[in-house]
Structure 1
């Protein structure tokens, strides 16, 4: 069976990456692409790298245009998808790459985002560990409403969740510093994202617990088994177009050995196709994940500090967004989870 697909927000980075994956997916056929200010333009005018989809023209983003498709991927800024998706049929699989349906706590939405709260959908991180020993993928089977995680959230959650579930790290005093590429901010013109501002520089932003991904990280680690979570994470903008390198640290639980730590991560990801733990002493580079739906993880124990150090790398537009969307859609539709996705990156 071939599923008809529409992509809303097709002119942006996330929408473009979703389209790049859909173009070679054997079970999906892209029939409609939409945008706001770019509506009416041919797709190639704003996504010139998508040559196989150059026959498509961007339509207005309305429920009427999106209705009638088997699958709708939505790649819009937060606050824009809620009203749009409310008008789509219940039987349509809708995958939201934005933030509108990620948080289960309405008060957290009000604090970090503001505006109307549209409720939580099934969370699109298949590898998210559950405290009972399962994973999130069971909740995605047959789903028709999926919320794709935030990219920073994915890097930190996949890095720390095994230690939380196994009880080998303390869930409080979690600290993460992330080197991130500017594509995560989208295509909107901003002075701080100009090449002349970025090149040869690194700058922290959303410092001091105010980043909107904070409550989502807490939410995930509580699913993994933490009763109470405190996390301080600081993203640092660096001059690479795409990628996240997250260095997350946590206090060792009393009586925990380095062997216990290694075993927790090995057990968590032994059978995961897209989350890979590197051999002892090896740590990932963002370059090794570009274009791939992988999260690569390096692990160490700082004995002197009594902390576990986890370094996780991923492509923010792939595993951090579009790859997770396709992976989750595959599961929801009963397709092989890895269909249309690759673990091979692009080098150099």
Structure 2
């Protein structure tokens, strides 16, 4: 296990996931934050954006273009940039840091940068830009061609509990989305065990407003969100194909799920209520037993006693995931409730968890925060 100091850069530090990374990494015993970028706030201190960080000794914010990678000792870069921009940034970053995983479009000029830095960096991406393995599927759902197809081939989908060995050897990890994390964790083991019908899965999920990011949007104004709840992205949310990609792997066959997200008037949290049909001879108690046994040794996942269900407030501010299983009144069916904090286990906490795996640290290092309640 390494005792070295891991020097970290956070690209997009003025957003919600960037700020959450600062909160978590500032308490991590093995991490020093050496670069913070926020293009629109370049030249400012992070405490001018988030006063809660005023007691920390942090580098000033700069634009990505201002970072002189050759003069920075950096081991890992966290990308908290908007979807659709990260591929080109990461391609350029790996290019400039002498990485061998370079898109063919820039490989011929790579030698200009090889001598500038002693070793390539690890990259952990919190956007959706490397989550979909099929670049054509990405283009279909995100409206433009993939800008780094060669890097996509080596990107590892970073749902830690299901991909540890791949993450351990990875140079580029794509952290899952918040809705997919809350949905895949309870469903993948059951599909792998052939206990539920792959073609009969309904995911009804709710998210707090931070899931939409920090940029001003009409749909996340206080008067649009408060005192009500609404569905969005109905039948066409971009997390749908991401969920299906990973569940298809677990099932060993292509599947399509019914997935509907909802925005609820709270800041943080994801709660997914999942309806499944069991295979012949399988009971809801069997599903519970499979999940309990599969996640028994996991530091962040807890399966509640059979018949109990969690609430989003039970994981607030933590990297925990809670899962409950209940027998449906309809014969042969079960209801699974899964909850996470979308900014922690659904984003920045999972990113830190993946970093720990990549650098040989205990997985829970820096993530010991217990949920906040009330």
Do these two structures clear the TM 0.5 threshold for a shared fold by scoring above it?
A: yes
Q: CA deviation at 1:303?
A: 4.7
Partner of residue 199, structure 1? 226
Equivalent position to 1:326, from 352, 362, 367: 352
In the alignment, the residues of structure 2 paired with residue 16 and residue 341 of structure 1 have an alpha-carbon distance, to the nearest angstrom, of 15
Q: Would you identify which runs of 4 or more consecutive aligned residues in structure 1 move more than 6 Å?
A: none
In the alignment, the residues of structure 2 paired with residue 309 and residue 303 of structure 1 have an alpha-carbon distance, to the nearest angstrom, of 10
Question: Does 2:326 match 1:297?
Answer: no
Question: Does 2:370 match 1:344?
Answer: yes
In the alignment, the residues of structure 2 paired with residue 233 and residue 216 of structure 1 have an alpha-carbon distance, to the nearest angstrom, of 11
**Which structure features the higher share of helix residues?**
2
Structure 1: tracts of 5 or more residues without a match: 129-135
In the alignment, the residues of structure 2 paired with residue 291 and residue 50 of structure 1 have an alpha-carbon distance, to the nearest angstrom, of 16
Question: Does 2:72 match 1:70?
Answer: no
Equivalent position to 1:234, from 255, 260, 267: 260
TM-score (norm 2): 0.88
Deviations 1:289-347 (A, max 9, x none): 11110110001121525222110010000000001100001101111111100251011
Q: CA deviation at 1:63?
A: 8.1
Q: CA deviation at 1:55?
A: 4.2
C-alpha contact 2:125 2:174 (8 A) present in aligned 1: yes
SS at match of 1:309: strand
C-alpha contact 1:140 1:332 (8 A) present in aligned 2: yes
Partner of residue 216, structure 2? 189
Q: CA deviation at 1:227?
A: 0.8
After the TM superposition, which residues 106-145 of structure 1 pair with which residues of structure 2 at under 5 Å, given as runs? 106-117=135-146, 118-119=148-149, 120=152, 121-128=155-162, 136-145=163-172
Question: How many residues in Structure 1 have an aligned counterpart in Structure 2?
Answer: 340
Question: Does 2:37 match 1:34?
Answer: yes
In the alignment, the residues of structure 2 paired with residue 108 and residue 305 of structure 1 have an alpha-carbon distance, to the nearest angstrom, of 37
Q: CA deviation at 1:54?
A: 5.7
SS at match of 1:256: coil
In the alignment, the residues of structure 1 paired with residue 288 and residue 187 of structure 2 have an alpha-carbon distance, to the nearest angstrom, of 12
Partner of residue 80, structure 1? 85
C-alpha contact 2:45 2:59 (8 A) present in aligned 1: yes
In the alignment, the residues of structure 2 paired with residue 112 and residue 217 of structure 1 have an alpha-carbon distance, to the nearest angstrom, of 13
C-alpha contact 2:206 2:264 (8 A) present in aligned 1: yes
C-alpha contact 1:142 1:334 (8 A) present in aligned 2: no
Question: Over aligned residue pairs, what C-alpha RMSD do you find?
Answer: 1.5
Rg (Cα) greater in structure: 2
Partner of residue 112, structure 2? none
Deviations 1:196-216 (A, max 9, x none): 2211010110002x1001111
Identify which range, 66-75 or 47-56, moves more after superposition: 47-56
In the alignment, the residues of structure 2 paired with residue 114 and residue 224 of structure 1 have an alpha-carbon distance, to the nearest angstrom, of 28
Q: CA deviation at 1:173?
A: 2.1
Q: CA deviation at 1:189?
A: 0.7
Partner of residue 133, structure 1? none
In the alignment, the residues of structure 1 paired with residue 157 and residue 330 of structure 2 have an alpha-carbon distance, to the nearest angstrom, of 37
TM-score (norm 1): 0.94
In the alignment, the residues of structure 2 paired with residue 300 and residue 213 of structure 1 have an alpha-carbon distance, to the nearest angstrom, of 25
Question: Does 2:101 match 1:101?
Answer: no
Q: CA deviation at 1:167?
A: 0.7
Q: CA deviation at 1:73?
A: 0.5
In the alignment, the residues of structure 1 paired with residue 369 and residue 200 of structure 2 have an alpha-carbon distance, to the nearest angstrom, of 33
